[in-house]
Amino acid sequence: MEPTVLGVIAVALIVGAAVLGKKTGIASVLLLLVIGIGIGYIPGVPRVEVDPEWILAGVLPLLLYSSAVNVPFTDFRRNLRAITGLSVTLVIVTTVISGLVLVLLLPGLGLAAAIALGAVISPTDAVAATSIAKRLGLPNRLVAVLEGESLVNDASALVLLRSALAATAGTVTLWGVAADFVYATVLAIGIGLVVGFVTVWIRARISEPVITTTISFAIPFIAFVPAEHFGASGVIAVVTAGLVTGHRGPSRFAANQRISDHTNWATVQFILEHAVFLLMGLELHAFIEDVAGSPGGVPFAVLLGLALTATVVIVRFLFVIPQLAILRRWERRSVESSDKRLDGVREFIDATPSETPRQERRKRGLLRRVSKHEADSEFYRAEGLQWRESLVISWAGMRGVVTLAAAQSLPADTPFRSTLILVAFVVAVVTLFGLGGTLPIVIRKTQITGTGDEARMQEIRELLETVNRAAVAVLDDPEKTRIDGTPIDPSIVAGLRARYERPARTEIAEDSTSEIDARSQMLILDERMRETARAELLDARALGSFSSEAIAAVQRLLDIEESRFDAF
Query: What are the tens digits of pLDDT across the range 12-50?
Result: 999 998 888 888 877 788 888 889 989 988 887 788 777
Q: Do residues 420 and 305 touch, judged by C-beta distance below 8 A? A: no
Exposed, middle or buried: residue 242 (CB in 10 Å: 0-12, 13-18, 19+)? Answer: buried
Cα atoms in the Cβ-side hemisphere of radius 13 Å centred on 172: 18
CA pseudo-torsion sign 522, 525, 528, 529:
negative
- pLDDT at position 518 is 67
Q: Which residues, in sequence order, are bridge partners of residue 482?
A: 487
Residues 109 and 39: their CA atoms lie apart, in Å, by 33
Q: What is the pLDDT of residue 481?
A: 81
What distance in Å separates the CA atoms of residue 396 and residue 401, rounded to the nearest whole number?
A: 15
Angle made by CA atoms 210, 216, 220, in degrees to the nearest 5: 155
Phi then psi dihedrals of residue 516, to 5 deg = -105, 135
pTM (two decimals)? 0.81
Spatial neighbors of 248 by CB under 8 A, at least 6 apart, are 196, 197, 200
Which one-letter amino acid corresponds to residue 104?
A: L
Written as one letter, the residue type at 315 is V
Q: What is the pLDDT of residue 505?
A: 36
Distance of CA 341 to the CA centre of its chain: 33
The residue among 546, 27, 30, 533 whose CA lies nearest residue 276 is 30
Beta strand 482-483 with 486-487 is antiparallel
- Written as tens digits, the pLDDT of the chain (568 aa) is 566 777 888 889 999 988 888 888 777 888 888 899 899 888 877 887 778 888 888 888 998 898 888 888 888 888 999 999 999 999 999 999 999 999 998 888 888 888 999 999 999 886 766 776 666 667 888 888 988 888 888 888 888 888 888 877 666 666 777 788 888 889 999 999 999 999 999 999 887 878 888 899 999 999 999 999 998 999 999 999 999 998 888 888 887 888 888 888 888 888 988 888 888 888 888 888 888 877 778 899 999 999 999 999 999 999 999 999 899 888 888 888 877 777 777 777 777 777 777 778 888 788 788 888 888 888 888 887 888 889 989 998 888 888 888 888 888 778 888 888 899 999 998 998 888 888 888 888 888 776 666 777 787 788 888 888 888 888 888 888 887 777 887 888 887 777 776 533 333 333 444 445 666 677 777 777 777 887 888 888 877 878 888 888 888 888 777 766 654 4
* 101 CB-side CA count, 13 A: 22
Helix axes 255-292, 209-229, angle to 10 degrees: 50
What is the DSSP secondary-structure string of 137-152?
T--HHHHHHHHHHHHH
Q: Is 238 within 8 Å of 223 (Cβ atoms)?
A: yes
Inter-helix orientation angle 548-566/453-472, to 10°: 50
290-322 residues labelled b (16+ CB within 10 A) or e (exposed): bbeeeeeebebbbebbebbbebbbebbbebbee
